[in-house]
Amino acid sequence: MAQSLFTEQELARLRRLRLAGERVRSLALRGERRSRQLGSGLEFGAYRPYSQGDDLRRVDWNVYGRLDQLFLKLFEAPGQLRLLLALDAAPTMDFGVRNKWLAAKRVLAALGLVAQATADRVLLARYEDAAVQSFDASGSEQAFLEAVAAMTVSREELPSAAVRSALAARGRDTVLLAATDMQSKAGTLALLSEARRFGARAVVISLHADEELQPQLEGLTRLSPLAGNPLKLRIDARVLEAYRKEVEDYRRACQAAIRATGAGCIEVSSTVDLEPVVVELLRSGLLEGAR
Amino acid sequence: MLEFARGQFLWLFALVALFFVVFFLARRWKRAAVTYGFIWQRVAGRVRPPAWKRLLRLLLTLLVSSAMLSSAALYAAGLQPAAQNETPPLLLFIVIDNSPSMRAFSYTHRQTRQNLAQDRAQQVLNSLAPEDRACIVHWQLGRPVAGPFLKRGDAAGPAPRTDYAPARPEELAGCLQAVGLPPHFAPAPAAVCAVWLLTDDPPALAAAPAPARLERLAPAARWATVGGLPCVVETFGEAGENAGFIEAVFRPSPAGSEDRGLLSARLRGRGKAGAMYLGFKRDTWEMDARSFELPLKVPHDLDSDGLDLLVQSEHDILTLDDFIRVPLPRSPIRRILILRPKGEEANPLLREGMELLLPGRKIEEREAVNGEAAESDLVVMDRVAAEPSARALLCFGALPPGLGEVEPAREAKAGLFEATAQRPWLGFEVPNLQLLAGREAFPLKSGVKLTPLATHIEAGVLLAAATGERDVLYVGYSPRQSNFLFVPEGPTLLQRWLNALLGRDTTLMPPLLPMAQSTEIDAGAFMTLEVRRDPDVGPGYAYGAESYRVVTGLDGRARIGPLEQPGLYRLLHEGRELARFSAYWVDEPEQAASFLPLPPLDERALVPAAREQTWIDWFPEILLWMALLGLVLEWLLWLAGITD
């Protein structure tokens, strides 16, 4: 499954970046980084299904009473860095010859892999997911990649309570990385608003496909938007020019709205090479730890 | 209903359907998945014209295109209103009389009746309905001949000239029945066949009812029938006088006459006759009579081919019979040469005597020169022993060396003659010569090749003659030193000899021959004769043969004629001219045709009355105008920015 996201060469390069992150971490003092330890802390971290051998004392019996399933209640130690990878799973993400959805997963997966070296915990969820998947530094790289790869496009949704609670729990130790194409900006802006509210740092990776900005269309065309109503249009140079201007204005407005929430924004094409994006984020110090 | 001349082209209407298919295939919407649907919606709302404009543009395009294609298909299919085919098609036989009397000149129209008939035929042709056909019938060599089927607008063509066009209804009916119907007339509706006879001499025809379609063409009383077909007659021009030859006989003059012959002619009317001598002079007579006799005073030495005689009267409408060409028979003696001894003066008595004996001939007189050729028709040798080239020789006191010799001159007393027995083969009778006398008499030596005619008791043979390839008459008297030319017997002898000589040329053919008659000749057994017309056709030319071959029978006789063209003819045997004669046109019924001008017919009545037009008649035009207006409207809407 992981091979569907990265080639071996890409994985090798990502592992080298991860090693660099681990060296930094080993030199840092205890408490200067966010904790990666789950289970013994004071702050609730996340739930995970019960498996044989787990400590029954950590079972959340309230949840068992509601759902009739056993979940372990995990806690985080204070001072740990958490990286929340949030994916906008709107249908418009599944578009482009170089698919935006795949590009988003690759970017977040790459950042997650690298972040496992520097962060104490990596949280993964789509906007609408009812539960946030949590991966600590000691966790399996393979499990993380499989979890990312298994994510599918669903529908346009606002962030779920789980994602919001993940921000609310330890907002100041959390870095939010949201991958979206900003075509349903309400969810993203709501997420950024939550992040700002709880003091989390946020960066939006704004993805686009080339054919979205420069559509190769001409003549009588029945347009079938991935979200929205179909329409018929005779496309010529004048129409294309108007479309390009509208898209440009829209994206500029989105960037302004993102920055208004105090979040960063990176424009990424679905055709762009993966490594420069990761390196750019690493250099920004975003994953260096708590403030 | 509409009808189509080329219904197979209606398949072109498939182009309209094909156009619609292609048009809508070209307008099919390509599917494309996109994002930013809300932006596309916003752009569409800004740039896309409203639905009604797009629908209007689509409808205009379809309207204009389909109307233009439909118009093209209808045009190719030959759309026409059905009204023209509601009546059965008409086959009209336009019979144009091209007999000689149709050459009569109309002084009102400044044309001949033939030209008027041709113009009328063209008018009738131009008045036919599109599906009607016409067939023009003329006479050629005495038989009616039908031309090809003609339709409206075709050219009628000129009528052949002929001098035989007997308008016999039974022959005409056979010709019309042999024509049949044009191919496109079958099957039903049945065709209407009718005859339009353009003539100056309507034949007697039985009355017949007018066909339904042509009732307006002429009153019922004017319809007749020819071979079962309804026929209507129309005539042209005006009646007029005609004074032309209806008989002409030419009799050549005897040898001693000053005239070449006597022409006796009979005219149809009172006219003025004139004669024109070719290359000689023009002479005219005021022959204000129905017949005349005209002595032709043409010099015998004039080598003319003929004499043209013209008859004219005031407003003579038919000129064909105004012309007769008289071939003048050539005399065997047209030139005379008199040779006298060298150093001696001319003998005027001898010259005058020859002029009296052969009037109108050209006479030359000169001294004999040794070795000089003497060539003429008749050579008179006055004591000159030359060897001339001539048809006849008159020798006084000398003979050509080839014929014999004469003895020296001696005195001969009168009345001492002894005439020998008559020689019938000479063709003349030797007169009594006993009063002849002369101081110089040249008797013939024995052994001459001449036959003695009279012998002097004292001198011997003084008169001798020979016939054959050339005639020779020997006179032993000197014309100067004897009374041969002063006493009646001498000139009588010469006259008889000359008459026999000239009468030896037999006349095979009468010089004038009516064209429609034949004549019998006697030329010799099994001779292949050729009758050839002179290429100089003259005013009476016609359509027909110009040469014939005739073979005489065992008895040597053959019949020549009737001939098909007037003019001058030559009778030839192996290239040698045996005779010359002139055929002149005489057809008394034609010359006396009782022309009765009839009121003209209204050729516009050939086409059936037009019915009330409906919108169907205008359907093609409506389509075309719709296409044109659609184009203009589309252009205006585009200019106004209503359509894109």
* pLDDT value, residue A286: 67
Which chain B residue shows the shortest CA-CA distance from A228? B37
Cβ distance A75 to A45 under 8 Å? yes
Q: Which residue of B39, B46, B61 to mutate against A (max A Cβ within 10 Å)?
A: B39
Strand partners, B34: A225
Q: Do both A110 and A137 map to the same domain?
A: yes
Question: Is residue A99 a part of any domain in this protein?
Answer: yes
Whole-angstrom distance, CA of residue B49 vs CA of residue B51: 6
Mean pLDDT, chain A, whole residue set: 81
CB contact (8 A) between residue B36 and residue A223: no
pLDDT tens digits along A138-165: 777 888 888 999 999 987 778 888 888 8
Convert B218-249 into a string of H (helix), E (strand) and C (coil): CCHHHEEEECCEEEEEECCCCCCCCCCEEEEE
Q: Which site among A222, A233, A252 would you substitute to test the B interface, given the most B Cβ atoms closer than 10 Å to its Cβ?
A: A233
Please give the share of chain B, as a percent, with pLDDT higher than 90.
26
What is the C-alpha end-to-end distance of chain B, expressed in Å?
40
Prior bond of B187 cis (ω within 30°): yes
What's residue B494's pLDDT?
A: 93
Q: Which residues of A touch B36 (CB under 8 A)?
A: 92, 183, 212, 225, 243, 246-247, 250
Tell whether B32 lies on the interface with A, counting CB pairs under 8 A. yes
Coarse DSSP helix, strand, coil percentages of chain B, rounded to the nearest 5 percent? 25, 30, 45
The pLDDT of residue A256 is: 93
Cis status of the peptide bond prior to B488, with omega within 30 of 0: no
The answer to whether A253 contacts chain B (CB < 8 Å) is no
Nearest CA in chain B to A240: B43
Comparing CB atoms, the residue among B29, B35, B43 nearest residue A242 is B43
CB-based contact A227 B47, cutoff 8 Å? no
A220 chain-B contacts, CB cut-off 8 A: 27-30
In this prediction, residues A176-195 reach a mean pLDDT of 90
Q: Which of the residue ranges A153-162, A242-251, B461-470 has the most confident prediction, judged by mean pLDDT?
A: A242-251
Question: Which CATH number fits the domain B335-503, given the four candidates 3.40.50.880, 3.40.50.720, 3.40.50.2000, 3.30.300.130?
Answer: 3.40.50.880
Q: Assess if residue A216 is contained within a domain.
A: no
Closest Cα in chain B, distance from residue A280 (Å): 28
Q: Is the pLDDT of residue A80 over 70?
A: no
How many angstroms separate the CA of residue A183 from the nearest CA in chain B?
A: 7
DSSP B480: S
CB pairs under 8 A between A and B: 82
User: Closest approach of chain A CAs to the CA of B28, in angstroms?
Assistant: 7
Partners of A92 on chain B (C-beta within 8 Å) are 35-36
Instruction: Dig out the tokens for B615 from the structure.
Output: 């919108």
A250 vs B contacts (CB less than 8 Å): 36, 39
Q: Considering the domain B87-239, what is its CATH architecture?
A: 3-Layer(aba) Sandwich (3.40)
Smallest Cα distance from A249 to chain B, Å: 10
Domain total in chain A: 2
Question: Does residue A226 lie within any of the structural domains?
Answer: no
In the structure encoding, which two tokens stand for residue B624, read together? 């075309």
Q: Do B37 and A229 lie within an 8 Å CB cutoff?
A: yes
Does residue A71 sit in the same domain as residue A149? no
Q: Do B35 and A233 touch (CB under 8 A)?
A: no
Read off the pLDDT of each residue in B370-388 and give the average, rounded to a whole number: 89
Is the pTM higher than 0.80? The answer reads: no
How many degrees, rounded to 5, is the angle at CA B541 between CA B536 and CA B543? Answer: 125
Q: Which of B29, B38, B41 sits opposite A222 (nearest CB)?
A: B29
CA neighbor of B357 nearest in space, from B490, B262, B504? B490
Q: Which of A142-146, A206-210, B291-295 has the lowest mean pLDDT?
A: B291-295
DSSP B507-524: --S-SEEETT--EEEE--
Contacts of A253 (CB under 8 A, 6+ apart): none
Are B47 and A238 in contact (CB < 8 Å)?
A: yes
State whether B37 and A226 contact (CB < 8 Å): yes
Between these two residues, B611 and B608, which has the higher pLDDT value? B608
Q: Is the CB of residue B478 less than 8 Å from the CB of residue B485?
A: no
Do A46 and A151 share a domain, yes or no? no
Show the DSSP H helices in B137-276 as ranges: 169-179
- Best of A231, A251, A254 to substitute, by most chain B Cβ atoms within 10 angstroms, is A231
The mean-pLDDT minimum among A51-65, B138-152, B606-620 falls in B606-620
B1 is written with which tokens? 């209903």
Chain B residues in contact with A234 by the CB 8 A cut-off are 48
pLDDT tops 70 at residue B486: yes
Model pLDDT for residues B128-174, shown as the tens digit of each residue: 988 889 999 999 888 899 999 999 989 988 888 888 777 788 888 89
**CA distance to partner chain B, nearest, from residue A128 (Å):** 21
Mutation choice for A interface testing from B35, B54, B58, B61 by most A CBs within 10 A: B35
pLDDT band at B286 (very low <50, low <70, confident <90, very high): low
First vs last C-alpha separation in chain A: 35
Instruction: Look at A121 and B200; give whichever has higher pLDDT.
Output: B200
**What is the reported pLDDT for A31?**
41
The more confidently predicted of residues B37 and B413 is: B37
Q: State how far residue A246 is from chain B, nearest Cα, in angstroms.
A: 7
Q: How far is the alpha carbon of B634 from chain A, nearest alpha carbon, in Å?
A: 19
Chain B touched by A216 (CB under 8 Å): no
Q: Is residue A248 part of a domain?
A: no
Residue A232 has its nearest CB partner, among B29, B35, B47, at B29
Q: What phi, psi does B113 have (nearest 5°)? A: -60, -35
- A212 to chain B nearest CA, in Å? 7
Rounded CA separation A247/A269 (Å): 15
Q: What is the mean pLDDT of chain B?
A: 84
Q: Where are the alpha helices (DSSP H) in B27-168?
A: 37-47, 51-76, 113-126
Q: How many CA atoms lie within 13 A of B73 on its CB side?
A: 18
Neighbours of B51 (CB within 10 A): 8
pLDDT for B281: 59
Asked if the C-beta of B425 comes within 8 angstroms of chain A's C-beta atoms, the answer is: no
As for the ipTM of the complex, it is 0.79
Do A200 and A275 share a domain, yes or no?
yes
Comparing B363 with B61, the larger pLDDT belongs to B363
Q: What is the pLDDT of residue B644?
A: 60
User: A57 and A152: one domain?
Assistant: no
Residue A237 lies in a domain: no
The pLDDT tens digits for B544-556 are 788 999 999 999 9
- Which of B326, B327, B322 minimizes the C-alpha distance to B539? B322
Query: Measured between CB atoms, does A219 come within 8 Å of chain B?
Result: yes
**In this structure, are A268 and A186 located in the same domain?**
yes
- The SS3 assignment for B301 reads coil
Contacts of B31 in chain A (CB under 8 A): 221-222, 224
Q: Would you say residue A249 lies in a domain?
A: no
pLDDT in tens, B496-537: 999 888 887 777 888 899 988 899 999 888 999 999 998 765
Q: Do A226 and B42 touch (CB under 8 A)?
A: no
Q: What is d(CA B99, CA B165) in angstroms, rounded to the nearest whole number?
A: 5
Question: Is A233's CB within 8 Å of B46's CB?
Answer: no
8 Å CB contact of B31 and A225 = no
Per CB-CB distance under 8 Å, the chain A contacts of B30 are 219-222
Residues A55 and A124 occupy one common structural domain: no
Residues of A in contact with B46 (CB under 8 A): 242
Which structural domain range is residue A182 located in? 2-31+79-208+264-283
Check residue B333 and report its DSSP letter.
Answer: -
Q: Are residues A94 and A53 in the same domain?
A: no
B372 pLDDT exceeds 90?
Answer: no
- The pLDDT, as a whole number, for residue B539 is 52
Residue-level pLDDT at A76: 60
Q: Tell whether B30 is within 8 A of chain A (Cβ).
A: yes
- A184–chain B Cβ distance below 8 A for any pair: no
Report chain B residues whose CB lies below 8 A from the CB of A103: none
Chain A residues touching residue B643 (CB < 8 angstroms): none
Condensed to tens digits (0 to 9), the pLDDT of residues B319-352 reads 888 888 888 877 888 899 999 999 999 999 999 9
Structure token digits, residue B571? 């009778």
Report CA-CA distances (Å) from B79 to B389, B480, B608, B620: 88, 106, 19, 8
The one-letter code for the residue type at B386 is A
A69 backbone dihedrals φ, ψ, rounded to 5°? -135, 155
Cβ neighbours of A181 in B, within 8 Å = 35
Q: Do A222 and B30 touch (CB under 8 A)?
A: yes
Nearest CA in chain B to A222: B31
Q: For residue A175, give how far its alpha carbon lies from the nearest alpha carbon of chain B (Å).
A: 29
Taking residues A25-40, report their average pLDDT.
44
Match domain B245-329 to its CATH number in 2.60.40, 3.50.50, 1.10.3210, 1.10.287: 2.60.40
Minimal CA separation from A234 to chain B, in Å: 8
pLDDT of residue A19: 65
Any CB–CB contact under 8 A between B204 and chain A?
A: no
Q: Residue A161 is part of a domain; what is its CATH number?
A: 3.40.50.410
pLDDT in tens, B54-107: 788 888 888 888 888 887 887 777 776 655 446 788 899 999 999 889 989 888
The tokens of A138 are what?
């000691």
Position B433 pLDDT exceeds 90: no
Q: Is the Cβ–Cβ distance between B520 and B509 less than 8 Å?
A: no
For residue A153, give the amino acid letter: V
C-alpha B634/C-alpha B644 separation (Å) is 10
Coil, strand, or helix at residue A50? coil
Contact check, Cβ <8 Å, B35/A209: yes
Q: Which residue has the higher pLDDT, A273 or B246?
A: B246
**Residue in B with minimal Cα distance to A226:** B35
The verdict on B29 touching A (C-beta cutoff 8 Å) is yes
Give CA–CA dist B407/B419, Å, rounded.
Answer: 20
